[in-house]
Structure 1
Amino acid sequence: MGLVIIFGIVTLLAAVGTFSALKNKNILGIVFGGGSLAVFGWFTVMTVLYSGFPAAH
């Protein structure tokens, strides 16, 4: 469960960074921020789907 939280926080920070780069028209920041957002967003979704939810007792 901790891995999902860490991936989620990194995804949110990448989204904020990408938005900030878009506001400042920083092309390199948009590329790297968008790439990080895509990769860590995908990791977050896949981790939640495969092992993010604890088993119900």
Structure 2
Amino acid sequence: MSNSSDLLTLIQHKRVELYSAADQYGLNHFETINCSQHLDELLNKLSAINHPGTREES
């Protein structure tokens, strides 16, 4: 990941993918949950870039 702009683009695409999965499969389907978890990871990375030192990394 070269910068936060690339990360923001990935987040936007993952959100669209999440909405699509939720519409197609429902909220409790593993595809939707998996997509949501990946989006969470991307958002956590963005937060770590924008607010370094405010959270312990695992």
Q: What CA distance in whole angstroms lies between the structure 2 residues aligned with 1:4 and 1:35?
A: 19
TM-score relative to the length of structure 1: 0.71
Q: What CA distance in whole angstroms lies between the structure 2 residues aligned with 1:25 and 1:46?
A: 31
Indicate the structure whose relative CO is greater, using CA pairs within 8 Å and at least 6 residues apart: 1
Q: What CA distance in whole angstroms lies between the structure 1 residues aligned with 2:34 and 2:13?
A: 12
- Number of matched pairs: 49
TM-score relative to the length of structure 2: 0.70
Match of residue 10 from structure 1: 10
Match of residue 53 from structure 1: none
* Structure 2 unaligned residues grouped into runs of 5+: 53-58
Q: Percent identity?
A: 8
Higher helix share: 1
Q: What CA distance in whole angstroms lies between the structure 1 residues aligned with 2:6 and 2:13?
A: 11
Query: Is the Cα contact below 8 Å between 1:11 and 1:36 reproduced in 2?
Result: no
* Structure 1 unaligned residues grouped into runs of 5+: 51-57
Q: 1:41 aligns with which of 40, 43, 50?
A: 43
